[in-house]
Amino acid sequence: MILGIVQARMSSTRLPGKVMLPLLGCPMLEHQLERLLRCKRIDQLLVATSNQSDDLPIVDLCRHLGVMCFQGDLADVLDRFYQASQQYPTQHIVRLTADCPLCDPELIDGLIEFYLNGHFDYASTALEPTFPDGLDAEIFRAELLKLAWQEADLPSQREHVTSFFYQQNQRFCLGSYTDKIDRSAMRWTVDDADDFEFVTQIYKKLYPVKSDFNRHDIVDLLNREPELSQINCAKTRNQGYLKSLELDKLTTKTETH
């Protein structure tokens, strides 16, 4: 079985409550889950949020949509994933984040096929980024999650669930799923207000005429209206992960003194 886990929280530092912001009348997270439910290769979809009261709106939304929801540790996301996997046993886990309302089901299914056919331990669209930022997806063998949960001790490894795998790539068979055209400079994720405005404009222009629009439709739109890309351009990819790596350095210095 393949379990898709979407990590979601309300306490985003740059745009608090972003997953529940209204996007064409529905919470942003609802739109993302609507898209993910169209993945043909994901057998079950689960939202992993925290056990904090701030995240109860996420729990309520999942209940309303009939999507499974697990509540765990807020800061230790790796523990949250591991505990969720203990409640919902599976062979493979697809990790997704709730700041990607433009996620592409076809791309995710392609990643899963690539991973299964290549017999990888872990495969990702982000090892060698070619897809737009905001289409990231990862898949790994569920049994390896316990290994990471037991051994990972750096802040980045506890917050960013799969970093343990690619930081120790000599131990695992990794697969990089790439596109023929490099569009990694495009920014389709939602970290701040500018990002949300960009996504809102994409939805306003595409969703009413084609609710299941895909990444190719977005690229076509941006080719026709290139000014849309200026809404949230010139930002660093994976800012949250880079911030965690800085915390790793501080932790290491503290331990050596």
pLDDT in tens, the chain (257 residues): 999 999 999 999 999 999 999 999 999 999 999 999 999 999 999 999 999 999 999 999 999 999 999 999 999 999 999 999 999 999 999 999 999 999 999 999 999 999 999 999 999 999 999 999 999 999 999 999 999 999 999 998 999 999 999 998 899 999 999 999 999 999 999 999 999 999 999 999 999 999 999 999 999 999 999 999 999 987 665 555 445 445 455 455 454 55
Alpha helix stretches (DSSP H) within 37-162:
56-65, 77-87, 105-118, 142-151, 155-159
| Owning domain of residue 120 | 2-256
User: What CATH number is given to the structural domain containing 245?
Assistant: 3.90.550.10
**CA distances (Å), 149 to each of 144, 154, 161, 181, in order?**
9, 11, 9, 35
What total of structural domains would you count in the chain? 1
As separate numbers, helices (DSSP H) first and strands (DSSP E) second, the chain gives: 10, 9
CB 244 within 8 A of CB 160: yes
Tell me the pTM: 0.90
